[in-house]
Structure 1
Amino acid sequence: MNTGAFTISIDFELYWGVRDTRRLDAFRERLDGARQAIPRMLELFEQHRIHATWATVGLLFCRDRDAALAAAPSVRPGYANGSLCPYRYLEQSADIDPRYHFAPELVELIAATPGQEVASHTFSHYYCREAGQTVAAFRADLAAAVRIAAARGIVLRSLVFPRNQWNPDYLDVLAEHGITTYRGNEDGWLYAATDHVGQNAMRRMGRLFDSYVNLSGHHTYTLEHCAGKPPLNIPASRFLRPHEPRLAWLDGLRLRRITRAMRHAARRHEVFHLWWHPHNFGVDTDQNMGFLARVIEEFERLRQQEGMRSLGMTELADAVAAR
């Protein structure tokens, strides 16, 4: 590839992504907002011919609790922290509101939009570095994700590990199930894959500062960096931190942090990989959509001036294979 690439991956999870850390009542507004933001993102992407990879929790393919339990794997993760297990929650919760737990209509909308890839975020938002889980349980979880997608005519080829807990011991399992690429983490201690306990306050604060000031580098890379035995690592470059009213006066720095890395990638024929969650746009949606539009405006300039291309994760893996 003799041009730069702009890659977007989106972790689509609704309440499954925060179920063990946030009360539903406290997160309901963000989840309602995410449902409104997703069609707006898709419209913006289609307008500007932006390709994106939507890493989707398999449970979102289901329509209700009964369908979710019927699709669940027989081997379940034995997390030492039992609150991490979504199946106990599915079986015991008095009210599983489909609006916050299931979204087959949004999965269909994503799949029907040109340039959008439906990928895997595992079936159950599986945590690959938490105590008590095993390779066997992960294999069963991924098989369930592949099955439920295939039933809707979707072939999963890319995966994002929930909470960025990517685990090198599990890469062979991806290959067994046809996954050709995954999103790895940015280089450095701030972004290292750890369990929940390892994501301490110092790491979180460092990542916050790094969103505004270049502490850790641009995290762009060549396709040669991704080459090797599948599944290929397509690392993240930057998290699109959502609008924060108290820090809105720093939004110019936040935008510059991203656009400078994009220009760096375009001029060196490298990859810049941006990611976020739909619920990050669930409040202050207009401000977040406006910020995203400015990022895409920069990409349009780089497409015209430098030949930069918009490629999803699987498209990048195919580009590596074609070299």
Structure 2
Amino acid sequence: MNTGAFTISIDFELYWGVRDTRSLDAYRKHLEGARQAIPRMLGLFEQHHIHATWAVVGFLFCHDRSEALAAAPRERPSYDNRALCPYRYLAQTPDIAEHYHFAPALIDLIAATPAQEIATHTYSHYYCREAGQTAATFSADIAAAVRIAATRGLAPRSLVFPRNQWHPDYLAVLAEHGITAYRGNEHGWLYTATDNVGQNAVRRMGRLLDSYVNLSGYHTYTLESCAGAPPFNFPASRFLRPYNPRLACLDGLRLRRIKRAMRHAARQHEIFHLWWHPHNFGVDTDRNMHFLEQVIEEFERLRRDDGMRSLGMAELADALAAR
């Protein structure tokens, strides 16, 4: 690739992404805000011709609990930590609040917006590094994710592993189901894929500091470095952390960290891969949108001055396959 690339992937989960760590009451404002933030993101992307990959939890395609269970695979993970199981949660929540768990209309809105790719975040927000799950139940989950997307005329080609628990032994499963690209993790100990227990306080604090100060490098890379048999790994470069009032005085550093990595990617003809969740914008939405606008403005400068392109994950896979 003779230009740099700016890649965005967004993990669209609603409550499924935090169900085992936050109560619905505690996170309700974030989820309400996420539903408001998504159209604003799409408007910004359309205005600036931004290509983005939306990794959608399969449950979100459904309208209600009955449809979610009907579309679920027969083979399901038996997590040692039973709190991780979404099917147990569904069974115990007959009066589930659909507004926080299902979003077919929002998926339709994303799919109707130019240059937006609908990818998969697995059917059930599946955890590939937790004890009690297997390659067989992962394959069944991905098959269900592909089937539910097909009901809306979509065929996912990219995947983001929930909690970034990517697993090399499961890549062949992705290929079997037509997945040609996935988002791997940044290099280094801070970002190593582990189960929830492995995400200790030292790692979390290190990642927080790395968002403001360059502790681990830019995490940009050439397209050629991703070559091999599909699915191709297009690792993350940076998580777009949400606004934090306690750290607001450091937001200039957070923005500078991202901009410097983007400039490096543009001038070295490398890929800069930014990611976040819509619920990260669920509170302090105006401040988070303003920060994103500044990132997009930097991309516009790099597109004008250095020829940087906006490419989704499937587009990167196509560019690599065409070499």
Distance (Å, rounded) in 2 between the aligned partners of 1:84 and 1:247: 31
Matches within 5 A, 1:63-142: 63-142=63-142
How far apart, in 2, do the equivalents of 1:270 and 1:298 lie? 16
- 3-state SS of 2:212 partner: coil
Instruction: Return the alpha-carbon distance in structure 2 between the equivalents of residues 263 and 252 of structure 1.
Output: 16
Is 1:257 matched with 2:257?
Answer: yes
The alignment's TM-score, normalised by the length of structure 1, stands at 1.00
Q: Does residue 18 of structure 1 match 2:36? A: no
Shift of 1:151: 1.2
Q: Secondary structure of 1:174's partner?
A: helix
Does residue 202 of structure 2 align to residue 210 of structure 1? Answer: no
1:169-213 CA-to-partner distances (Å, cap 9, x unmatched) read 000000000000000000000000000000000000000000000
Name the residue aligned to 1:267. 267
Q: Which residues in structure 2 correspond to 1:186-225 (within 5 Å)?
A: 186-225=186-225
Partner residue in 2 for 1:150: 150
CA deviation after TM superposition for structure 1 residue 94, in Å: 4.0
2:185 alignment partner AA = N
Per-residue CA deviations over 1:137-158 (Å, capped at 9, x if unaligned) read 0000000000000111001100
Q: Separation in 2 of the partners of 1:7 and 1:96? A: 35
1:55 corresponds to which residue? 55
1:178 aligns with 2:210: no
% identical aligned pairs: 79
Partner SS, residue 118 of structure 2: strand
Mapped to 2, the partners of 1:280 and 1:272 lie a distance apart of 20
SS of the aligned residue for 2:143 comes to: helix
One-letter code of the match for 1:309?
R
Size of the aligned set, in residue pairs, is 323
Match of 2:235 in 1: 235
Q: CA deviation at 1:95?
A: 2.3
Cα shift readout 1:102-142 (whole Å, capped 9, x = no counterpart) = 00000000000000000000000000000000001000000
Q: Could you tell me which runs of 5 or more consecutive residues in structure 2 were left unpaired when the two chains were aligned.
A: none
TM-superposed deviation, 1:322: 1.3
TM-score (norm 2): 1.00
Tell me how far apart the structure 1 counterparts of residues 197 and 139 of structure 2 sit (CA, whole Å). Answer: 24
User: Which stretches in structure 1 are left out of the alignment for 5+ residues?
Assistant: none
Please state whether the residue corresponding to 1:69 is helix, strand or coil: helix
SS of 1:109's partner is: helix
